[in-house]
Amino acid sequence: MKRFTTTLLGLGLCLSAMAQEKTDPAAIQKIRKEGLENSKVMDIAFHITDVAGPRLANSPGLKRAQEWAVKQFNEWGLKNVQLEAWGNFGKGWQIDKYYAATTLPFYHAIIGSPKAWTPGTNGPVKAEVILIKADTVTDLDKYKGKLAGKIILFDQMTIQPLKNTYKPDAVRLTDSALNAMAAAEAGQVAARRPGNPNNMMAQMLKMRATRAAIADRLKEENAALLLAFARGNHGTFFTSNGASYALDAKAVLPELEISAEDYLHMLRLLRAGQKVEMEADIKTSFYDQDPQGYNVIAEIPGTDKKLKEELVIIGGHYDSWHAATGATDNAAGSAVMMEAMRILKAIDFKPKRTVRIVLWSSEEQGLLGSRGYVLKHFGDPKTMVLTPDQKKVSAYYNLDNGTGAIRGIYLQGNKEAGPIFQEWLNPFSDLGAKTVTINNTGGTDHQAFDAIGIPGFQFIQDPMDYNTRTHHSNQDTYDRLVEEDLKRSATIVASFVYHTSERAAQIPRKELPKPAPVNP
């Protein structure tokens, strides 16, 4: 009986919190009209992708996009617009020219891209492709003196023939999937992969070290070019970096990441004893004049005498990988957040709390832009020594899971925020946004805020073809953006910002994280 009474009491408090949370129907209607009928989100995305180009950390493309965003924010009438340094990053890099093709047994242009932060070929090269079987550095002894000027392709047992898939590339979240997310309870832990995670990490680090040692030996042998097998199929490949961006990074060989189809074509020929020749002309540039990393910042200043020093922050990472133009990762999220600010300005919103947007850099290298910003302004998550400004942030909202429409929000374990957000989502149930889950999605910039005790949230989005076709791939272009989804997302974000700013109290906070343990 006591348990039943407690449950009813808890339910009553929850319902009471929901009943007390108010929305502003008139403001929502203005936001919906501007966001859904007068949207500029695709034009914003066009400038970030097609005009600025790839936006690798500290590259000229990222700097072009940042300068454009500063100009755009000023034109919209936002205040305190600036590029703010968050700390030292390292070298920028870009591809100036790329061409590669097999010439024997026949001519065939290769789908691929230089790996980030690798050098060019110093002019055209044409050479035989040599198949290398090497699991250790000593395995290379048999090739000593035979690799100078050659193009290297690795024969690894982990490289398997491609298989057809009969699942659609693009999917939307089903009602059952959303219901399961909503039904999740605090404290639930996702199933772990079998095996000891520490052992798995040790094995991965060992493999990386072995591969680096092999690459060093191949450089000593004066090989001309390394070929890497890229994950993906149907001409799509997912790219990565091939060298360090540190200012003092040691020199490496040129390395080309190529599509699975092209790699397997050459591998089959070489395994069969057929001779393969290839030509390539790769030029890349490094930029080390300014190793600082920068975020773009702009604001709509608060107007309430008591609350204007408090902040509502929204953001998304602005940088991308280099094989395409980073449309779904993450021009989509950046464009949505910029459009949300434009919507609020267009309806002449005078917020009580200051609304700030930050477009992060170097997220792809480990949330560096957001972590540097948080460390600079709010405190150190390692020591949990906090600044006074840490208490002034009501919430941070992030978007970084592709072009898919917002379907709800992850609470990041912040149970008390659930009833509030549910009320704020209710006016958008017709747009498919209705789910609040206690769960979290990881690997993006809201975690930098959560780590310092600031309520940080990522929205639930339809997956679309993010994981199957666009995330870090050569297919991540403007064409993959879904206009209606971006319009809906920007409208919902603008409403969340509006209500967070106008709310009498800040968004509830979880218990502060503990400082990181000090190693003896």
State which H helix or E strand residue 147 sits in. Answer: none
* Mean per-residue pLDDT, 151-156: 94
Model pLDDT, residue 130: 97
Model pLDDT, residue 19: 52
Model pLDDT, residue 288: 97
Model pLDDT, residue 16: 44
Distance in angstroms (rounded) separating the CA atoms of residues 470 and 232: 10
Distance in angstroms (rounded) separating the CA atoms of residues 24 and 28: 6
Report which residue type is found at 315. G
* Mean per-residue pLDDT, 486-490: 98
CB contact at 8 A, 103 and 126: yes
By DSSP bridging, strand 277-287 and strand 255-258 are: unpaired
Q: What is the pLDDT of residues 285-299, one digit of tens each?
A: 999 999 999 999 999
Model pLDDT, residue 4: 35
CB contact at 8 A, 379 and 337: no
Model pLDDT, residue 197: 53
Q: Which residue is listed with tokens 């000027």?
A: 149
Domain 95-175+197-287 has CATH 3.50.30.30: yes
Q: What is the pLDDT of residues 165-208, one digit of tens each?
A: 899 999 999 999 999 999 998 755 444 434 455 565 676 677 77
* Mean per-residue pLDDT, 42-64: 98
Chain centroid to CA 384: 26
pLDDT bracket for residue 5 (50, 70, 90): very low
Distance in angstroms (rounded) separating the CA atoms of residues 460 and 286: 37
Report which residue type is found at 306. K
Asked if pLDDT for residue 347 goes beyond 50, the answer is: yes
Which of 157, 156, 352, 118 lies closest to 240 in space, CA to CA? 118
Which of 118, 65, 127, 111 lies closest to 96 in space, CA to CA? 118
Q: What is the 3-state composition of the chain as percent helix, strand, coil, each rounded to the nearest 5?
A: 40, 20, 40
State which H helix or E strand residue 32 sits in. Answer: helix 25-37
Distance in angstroms (rounded) separating the CA atoms of residues 497 and 132: 56
Distance in angstroms (rounded) separating the CA atoms of residues 392 and 277: 63
Q: What is the pLDDT of residues 428-485, one digit of tens each?
A: 999 999 999 999 988 999 999 999 999 999 999 999 999 999 999 999 999 999 999 9
Average predicted confidence (pLDDT) for the chain? 93
Give the contacts of 417 (CB within 8 A, at least 6 positions apart). Answer: 411, 455, 457, 507, 508
CB contact at 8 A, 117 and 243: yes
> Which class would CATH give 13-89+291-502?
alpha beta
Model pLDDT, residue 198: 58
CB contact at 8 A, 361 and 318: yes
**Domain locations in the chain as residue ranges:** 13-89+291-502, 95-175+197-287
Asked if pLDDT for residue 7 goes beyond 80, the answer is: no
Q: What is the DSSP string of 199-235?
A: HHHHHHHHHHHHHHHHHHHHHHTT-SEEEEEPB-STT
Query: Alpha-carbon torsion 49, 326, 468, 174, what sign?
Result: negative
Model pLDDT, residue 11: 40
Model pLDDT, residue 202: 73
Model pLDDT, residue 430: 98
Report which residue type is found at 429. S
Model pLDDT, residue 212: 84
Using alpha carbons only, how large is the chain's radius of gyration in Å?
25
Query: Residue 190 phi/psi, 5° resolution?
Result: -65, 150
Structure tokens at 96: 């100036």
Q: What is the pLDDT of residues 30-48, one digit of tens each?
A: 999 999 999 999 999 999 9
